[in-house]
Structure 1
Amino acid sequence: MSRRGHRAALPPAEHRTESPLGPDGLVVTVINKAGLTREFDFAELPVPDRLQRSLARLFAAQSRAWTSHETAKTCWSRVTVFATFLSELENTPQDLDEVTVAILKRWRTRHVSTTTGKAVLSTIRLLLRQDPRFTGGPVTEELLRRFPAAKPSKQSYEDDERKRVVLAAQRQFRAAWLRIGENTRLLRAWQAGEPVKGSRDWRLGEVLDHLARTGDVPRSILPSGQPHVDHRSLLGGASPEKTWGRLFLSRMELTALAVLLTDRFAWNLKVYDRMPTPTAAPSAGEKASITYQVQVEKHRAGRGRWFSTENITDSGADSPGRLITQALEATEHGRALAARLAPGTDLLMVSRLYAPSRVAHRHQDTERPRPVGPLSFGIAYNDAQRWQEAHDLGGSPFQRARRTTVTREGRPRQHTQDTNERVYVLPDARVQRDSRSVFADGAMEALEQARAEVFPGHLVDAPNPAHVQTVTADCEDEKTSPWPAPGGGCGADFMLCLACKNAYVHPGHHPRLALLHQQLESLRSVLEDGVWNEQWQDHLLRLEDLRDKVGAAAWDAALARAGSDDHTLVRLLVKGDLTP
């Protein structure tokens, strides 16, 4: 059914879904979300023909659920590892039905000790389980034998590490944002006709206009064939910052922006490749604030759940939305040029290539948008690698920055609650260390509470005629009660007598108190935990403390002596029908 409730049209009767497995049974074609294809030739595997075809069939069946060539490439590399392992055996299996328990044991032993190896085992197990030859028996049991889950290789940043990464990104992006902002103001002034014609600002505005329309400053070709920057003295040099960088971010500056966005919003690196330009609207009742709607793509969420929208408000310098405002300002000219060169293009994360013709020719990544003219979109893995090397960080910042933000905020971001706890929170060393004090404080609080919920009165061998009798104890002096009544005397109910230092308990009370203890225990099984804890837990703790002081044997014996009056009074106490 469509969203409006109309029945969707059926495909033509002769329509058939094209099989990803080629006619030769060896080549599998995978189509990604962009509609691009990639072929995987199983004839390249170093195993017999029948085994190649069996693996190709399983790979093709699995590929129907894939929308990413990266997923396919990962599975292909692990299938290649499995095929290579089989080819190195003394007797290489001709097909999957010749894979024995002993072979699978050797396969498991080779890989189970490393995180990467466990990932390989998991992929091959998932693949082979689709084959009818692995539906039962000892071989299947060995294939399905559990192995310890891999521990995440990345940990969140310590505070000083995070500050170093964020500071490096802030310095680089802020310098670029200020540079582009200054030149944008000059360009707009030129477009408005403000500078005097022929003045330096007028001539510079003319160059900036050319740059905004074409993506580069005017250049001429020298007799040697080398390009030469015109107006070099006017621009102050031929470096990117003095030429095309006046209006466009470089790839490293865009990477710095992505680091800041990940630190702030915990977005995945792949999100930046196809993130649409955020839409903006004034915040309700706030003229000085603006709220952006940011569309975030969740690559692993599954069909129909790929996208979510986050509302982010810019209400001042320290607000989360201020970074979105700055990102829009820094990429304004790149986005405008991309829309002119390729109408319909509307991606936020755009940068200017250093060598557009060379990079565009080498672009082979089918998962990321292709360059448009001199512009590139998103953050490639090698961009992250180059950025961390330039800042001497010892590793790509994106995974660790994302983990740091997720664990700092304590809530899921683009993933489920289970993933948040299992993958991010529980294995993180910083969370574990910081939790120790929380656990210790909780334990001390529980200990103090347990110490507070004790019987503070007195155990005596016989009643004192001078004391006032109550249902649960005898009272020495109700005038000094911790719970005085408005008209004088004690205003506490009879259960609180066991919490008063004026209480005296003698053996005549023991049967009734033992029976009360038994009834409170039985209530635990019929009441919700929250209700029972609120109404009865403290009273039970005091009774248990009293039982320990009397002695378990004497307590149990007293329970056997409880008479009808004791049962009636306890029933009234539990029902709340006895009041002072």
Structure 2
Amino acid sequence: MPRRGEHRSGFPAASAPDPHVSRIGIRQVTVPRNGQQAMKSATVVLSFRPEAFRCAGLAAELADEWVELVQVGRLREGASRSYLSAMRCFLNYVDAQVQNAATASLARAEPDLHHAVNEWVRILPSKYAPGSRMPGWHAGHVRTLIARRAEHPDRPLVGHLNGWIEGAVGVRRGGSTELDEFSRAEKKKLIRAAWAARRATEARIRAGRELAATATTSPVGDPWAVESLLAAIASDRNACEEILARLRDMNAIPPALRKLAPERSTWPAKRALVRILVSQLFLTSMDLHAYRILLMAATGRAPEEVTGLTEDDIEFHPQGVTITFAKGRAHARMRQAFSSDPAPAGMMHPAGARLDAAEILRVLLELNRPLADLVGIRPVPLFLRASVSQPSLVVGLLTRMQGPTFADWLRVHDVTVNGVADIRRLRKSTKVEKALTFGGRISDVADDHSEQTFRGHYAHGTTLRVIAGEVITTAQQRWLDKALAGPTVLDEQAAESLTDPKAAAVLGLSPAEVDALRTGQLDMGVTDCTDPFASPFGRPGQLCPVAPLRCLECRNAFVLPSNLPQLLLFADHLDQLALKLEPRHFHALWGQSRANLTEVLASRTDTELVQARQQIAENGTVLHLPLASRVEFDA
């Protein structure tokens, strides 16, 4: 009989744990919240549940790499969420398309994840708009996570995924349509409207705070008085909830308070009334758009650099202010000083509003400090906004995701612009003006980013393209005029008419120059010259250094009938040069002279040419060229 302990059929043997199976559980990381550095909740917890997918093992493996990447790379909220989106996109594809997805793992050869990755990358662009960057980002993020696992000695990676890691990602990066800058007229309209909105905002808040200061603390005071409500909101963060709780019937409210509520609003009447009271004391998102426009125009910085400023980034001094800007994407901090330009003493009405960065920052700090003190935020953010939501007082920073947008601000203030209503176009307008000021020197223009960034994001603007086209056209026209501005050719009849002062004036000749031409005093050999000391090929006052070799390309040259023998000899000389020089070399040196000479000879009659040849033979005429022009060809 079997002894005690030998009956094992009811107790399955314990198997060793598979080292390739990852732990299934929630993965969490704590990362800095985007755009909320100055708020109490400076961080956010991101979670990922591998058990939510059929391929839970594969999801856990990628999640472990994601957690380590976020912690080691110190990624912020946006980058961390982008990796989560890429992981979910790939895992959903594995769940739907891979057989035996429950056993999928980077440590197993079956199922083949290499084939799954290739197919996922192949169909990824079809899920997004043409030219989208999301397919490239998703594929790149997944490859980064798998590459991290491949570099770890204790985490196996089987199959052919190493080839995908080392090679191309398999999908194009995509592109985006770059924004064009605002025109100068549009920028002026924006600044003018922002300045008017700023003045109205400051007057409203100043009046509201002065009214709140007059509130009485006596118990017999009117609790529904506007000044009492404003004082309560200014001193207690929870006052908005209490006011909304007491506003049960709008008809029972005193008329002085009820008339503050807007007649037409998408908000309920009670909440709209509380929002009006809050806006009498603090800045709202709609107010901050005007200050952002003015500060961007005054500093020339990007929107995110301006809206992320706090009082710790500002250092006031008698000459102005020094600001420390943080460029999140470049992980860089840069200090820049801005000087104040006070109006001259005695000037009561300046010509226009001045974009003084120091003055704008002082006003923003003055307006935002009471709100920051109310909610206990330090350091004080410059672009702090107040709003009412469900039904508390909500304090946050100006962001693109919450509150009225820049397009809403344009519509409210009746400002129209061509193209997309995007505040980033104001930054590009500043970069264009800077490029014009520095004469297009990229090293000076790209002082707050790289030259590659300028070429990729700013140099494509319409203004710079138009100016570049004008420069090219001007240069081409200059050389074209120089090439076409050849000698003035006169026949026998035209030469005889030089005695007429009117005819000479048409040619731009003075009586003294006409006499010098007729007597041969200005004969340069091949042609005559009206002013050898004003040559376009030399310095003013210098005797022409290229005569007579370049006389046929000079605007000062006059071809008279007496020059025909020398012109024929010069034509023979050019024919000989054409045989000795390489065609490309000859055309570069003598092509224009030969073309002009051909046109001059074509304007002469056959009889004139024959007579000139006879004169050369009878008189033994030779070509008058400097000795230096023949040295190159004597061999």
Normalised by the shorter chain, which TM-score bucket?
Answer: 0.5 to 0.7
SS at match of 1:383: coil
Per-residue CA distance 1:145-200 (angstroms, 9 max, x = gap): 46264123655456787677666655543311222345678899x89xxxxxxxxx
Match of 2:198 in 1: 173
- State the AA in 2 paired with 1:309: Q
Matches within 5 A, 1:304-343: 305-311=332-338, 313-315=340-342, 318=352, 321-322=355-356, 325-326=359-360, 328-329=362-363, 331-339=365-373, 342=376
Match of 1:65 in 2: 73
Query: Any conservation in 2 of the 1:350–1:377 contact (CA below 8 Å)?
Result: yes
Distance in 1 between residues matched to 2:530 and 2:196, nearest whole Å: 71
For residue 89 of structure 2, what is the aligned residue in structure 1?
A: 81
Superposed displacement of residue 72, structure 1: 0.9
Report the Cα offset of residue 275 of structure 1.
Answer: 0.9
Q: Distance in 1 between matches of 2:274 and 2:372?
A: 19
Change (3 A) 1:301 1:44: farther
1:537 corresponds to: none
Correspondence 1:391-402 to 2 at 5 A: 391=411, 397-402=422-427
Aligned position for 2:315? 279
Distance (Å, rounded) in 2 between the aligned partners of 1:404 and 1:187: 42
Q: Which residue of 2 aligns with 1:40?
A: 47
Match of 1:493 in 2: 545
| Of 482, 490, 493, the match for 1:452 | 482
Counterpart of 2:60 in structure 1 is: 53
One-letter amino acid of the structure 1 residue matched with residue 79 of structure 2: T
Q: 1:294 is matched with which residue?
A: 323
Query: Which residue does the alignment assign to 1:378?
Result: 398
Aligned equivalent of 1:125: 140
**Aligned counterpart, 1:150:** 175
Distance apart, 1:300 and its partner CA: 0.5
Task: For 2:399, give the aligned amino acid.
Answer: I
Instruction: Indicate the larger mover: 258-267 or 386-395.
Output: 386-395
Q: Which amino acid aligns with 1:311?
A: F
- What is the deviation of 1:264? 5.4
For the residues of structure 2 that align with 1:252 and 1:145, how far apart are their CA atoms?
A: 44
Q: CA deviation at 1:292?
A: 2.3
Tell me how far apart the structure 2 counterparts of residues 282 and 420 of structure 1 sit (CA, whole Å).
Answer: 34
Residue 31 of structure 2 aligns with an amino acid whose one-letter code is I
Q: Structure 1 residue 543 and structure 2 residue 550: aligned?
A: no
Secondary structure of 1:492 counterpart:
coil
Matched ranges for 1:99-114 at <5 A: 99-100=113-114, 103-105=117-119, 107-111=121-125, 114=129
RMSD after superposition? 5.4
1:95 correspondence with 2:105: yes
Contact 1:207 1:218 (C-alpha < 8 Å) held by counterparts? no
Q: Secondary structure at the match of 1:293?
A: strand
CA distance 1:567–1:219, change in 2 (3 Å): closer
Query: In the aligned structure 2, how far is the partner of 1:128 from the partner of 1:401?
Result: 37
- What TM-score comes out, normalization by structure 2 length? 0.57
Whether the aligned pair in 1 keeps the contact of 2:194 and 2:293 (CA below 8 Å) is: yes
1:441–1:254 distance in 2 versus 1, CA, 3 Å? closer
Distance, in Å, in 1 between the alignment partners of 2:488 and 2:46 is 85
1:481 aligns with 2:506: no
- Structure 1 distance, partners of 2:354, 2:226, is 35
Distance 1:50 1:276, change over 3 A: same
Q: Deviations over 1:267-294 (max 9, x none)?
A: 44444554113332222xxxxxxx2223
Q: Identify if the C-alpha distance between structure 1 residues 220 and 567 changes in structure 2 by more than 3 Å, giving closer, same or farther.
A: closer
Q: Deviations over 1:33-91 (max 9, x none)?
A: 86735233150553513321332244234323244112211221232122222322253
Q: Counterpart amino acid of 1:279?
A: E
Shift of 1:422: 1.0
User: Is the 2:522–2:528 Cα contact (8 Å) retained in structure 1?
Assistant: no
* Structure 1 residues 306 and 452: CA distance shift in structure 2, 3 A: same
Question: Tell me, what secondary structure is at the counterpart of 1:39?
Answer: strand
Q: How many angstroms apart in 1 are the aligned matches of 2:74 and 2:421?
A: 27
Show CA shifts across 1:221-253 (max 9, x none): 799576999998599857569745444222322
Which one-letter code corresponds to 2:546 in the other structure? Answer: F
Structure 1 segments unaligned to the other structure (5+ residues) = 1-21, 192-202, 284-290, 361-370, 460-465, 523-539, 552-563, 572-580
TM-score, with normalisation over the residues of structure 1? 0.62
One-letter amino acid of the structure 2 residue matched with residue 29 of structure 1: V
State how 1:207-222 maps to structure 2 within 5 Å.
none
1:249 equivalent in alignment to 2:283: yes
**In structure 2, do the counterparts of structure 1 residues 82 and 423 end up closer, same or farther at CA, with 3 Å as the change threshold?**
farther
Counterpart contact for 1:180–1:330, Cα < 8 Å: no
Displacement after TM superposition at 1:345 (Å): 2.5
The answer for the alignment partner of 1:366 in structure 2 is: none
Secondary structure, counterpart of 1:354 in structure 2: strand
Q: 1:27, 1:399 → 2: CA distance?
A: 37
Secondary structure of 1:353's aligned partner: strand
Match of 1:195 in 2: none
Following the alignment from structure 1 to structure 2, what is the Cα–Cα distance between the partners of residues 469 and 313? 63
Would the aligned equivalents of 1:28 and 1:40 in 2 still touch at CA under 8 Å? yes
Displacement of 1:453 in angstroms is: 3.5
Distance 2:549 2:201 in 1: 73
| Amino acid aligned to 1:65 | G
Quote the offset at 1:301 in angstroms.
0.9
Mapped partners of 1:23, 1:91: distance in 2: 22
Correspondence for 1:558: none
**Residue 146 to residue 467, structure 1, CA distance change in 2 (3 Å):** farther
Distance 1:138 1:67 in 2: 27
Q: Secondary structure at the match of 2:392?
A: helix
How far off is 1:298 after superposition? Answer: 0.7
Q: Which residue of 2 aligns with 1:29?
A: 29
Using a 3 Å threshold, how does the CA distance of structure 1 residues 205 and 30 change in structure 2: closer, same or farther? closer
Matched ranges for 1:401-480 at <5 A: 401-407=426-432, 409-410=434-435, 411-412=445-446, 415-426=449-460, 430-431=462-463, 435-436=465-466, 438-439=468-469, 442-443=472-473, 445-453=475-483, 456=486, 474-477=525-528, 480=531
- In structure 2, give the amino acid aligned to 1:545: Q
CA contact (8 A) 1:26 1:52 kept: no
- The structure whose Rg is larger is 2
Q: Contact 2:298 / 2:356 at 8 angstroms: preserved in 1?
A: no
How many residues were matched structurally? 470
Within 2, Cα distance between the matches of 1:223 and 1:493?
96
Measured at CA, do residues 514 and 100 of structure 1 come closer, stay the same or move farther in structure 2, by a change above 3 Å? Answer: same
- The runs of 5 or more residues in structure 2 that have no matched partner are 1-21, 151-156, 216-224, 262-272, 344-349, 436-444, 490-518, 536-540, 560-565, 599-625
